[in-house]
Amino acid sequence: MGRPSVKEQRTEEILDAFARCVARYGLEGSTLERIAEEAGVQRTILRHYIGNREALVAALGVRVEREFTASTEALFEWLPEYDRIEHLVDALFEPSLGTSSEDLSVAQALISASKLYPDIGARLKSWLLEFERLVAQELSTRYQRASPSAIAEVSLGLLSIYFSVDAFSPLQLPDSHRELASQAAWRLIRTLET
């Protein structure tokens, strides 16, 4: 495989800088001037490699969705053949495996702006629904007597607990919050045993 082109490398550097700006200043506060300064380039370079602000936001949205999709696929491929639900819950609530604060800030900013950028909203929605489907599939395999509606409820509840814990991680809450979230997830999952 050949080396990445200068355009690909520069585009990634600019998107890295944009993500850092979004994490620090929010989407609206991430001006082209700030992004260029963070990337260490002239503002005209942003336009040359990616385009205008709309193109920058779109490129960041595509990148975030790809990263989340790849992480989700890797998680489900990693699950062993045995005790898959136990491993899934452990992976979701393991502090060292959580999403970085910067990535969370960027994702939250993009989700908040999804009405202004419907293509990004559609991409993130598609990723989230696939994640939910994969969780439901795992639960259905394990709890075969549970109704489809119970599986759907628990899948959504499990992901809601997971995303809530990650969303509050920038507050640096005590580690006990992740443990309590894991326990709440298990309490919810056990409802499928009845």
The model's confidence at residue 173, banded by pLDDT at 50, 70 and 90, is confident
Pick among 1.10.287, 1.10.357, 1.10.8, 1.10.3470: CATH of 61-193:
1.10.357
What pLDDT shows up at residue 143?
97
- How big is the CA angle at 46 (ends 41 and 47), to the nearest 5 degrees? 140
Residue 85 CB neighbours (<10 A): 19
Give tens-digit pLDDT for 53-106.
Answer: 999 999 999 999 999 999 999 999 999 999 999 999 999 988 665 567 788 889
- Mean pLDDT is lowest, of 15-19, 95-99, 119-123, 137-141, for 95-99
Domains 1-51 and 61-193 share a fold: no
Domain ranges within the chain, ordered by starting residue: 1-51, 61-193
Residue-by-residue DSSP string for 30-87: --HHHHHHHHTS-HHHHHHHT-SHHHHHHHHHHHHHHHHHHHHHHHHHHS-SSSHHHH
Mean pLDDT of 33-46: 92
Superfamily holding 1-51: Homeodomain-like (1.10.10.60)
Residue 33 pLDDT greater than 70, yes or no: yes
The model's confidence at residue 19, banded by pLDDT at 50, 70 and 90, is very high
The model's confidence at residue 40, banded by pLDDT at 50, 70 and 90, is very high
Share of the chain above pLDDT 90, in %: 74
What token pair was written down for 187? Answer: 């309490």
Residue 1 pLDDT greater than 80, yes or no: no
Residue 172: which H helix or E strand, with range? none
What pLDDT shows up at residue 2?
61
Give tens-digit pLDDT for 95-112.
Answer: 665 567 788 889 999 999
What pLDDT shows up at residue 167?
80
What pLDDT shows up at residue 3?
63
Pair 11, 49: CB distance under 8 Å: yes
Helix 53-78 / helix 101-112 crossing angle, nearest 10 deg: 120
Is this structure's pTM higher than 0.75? yes
Q: Is 140 exposed, middle or buried (0-12, 13-18, 19+ CB in 10 A)?
A: middle
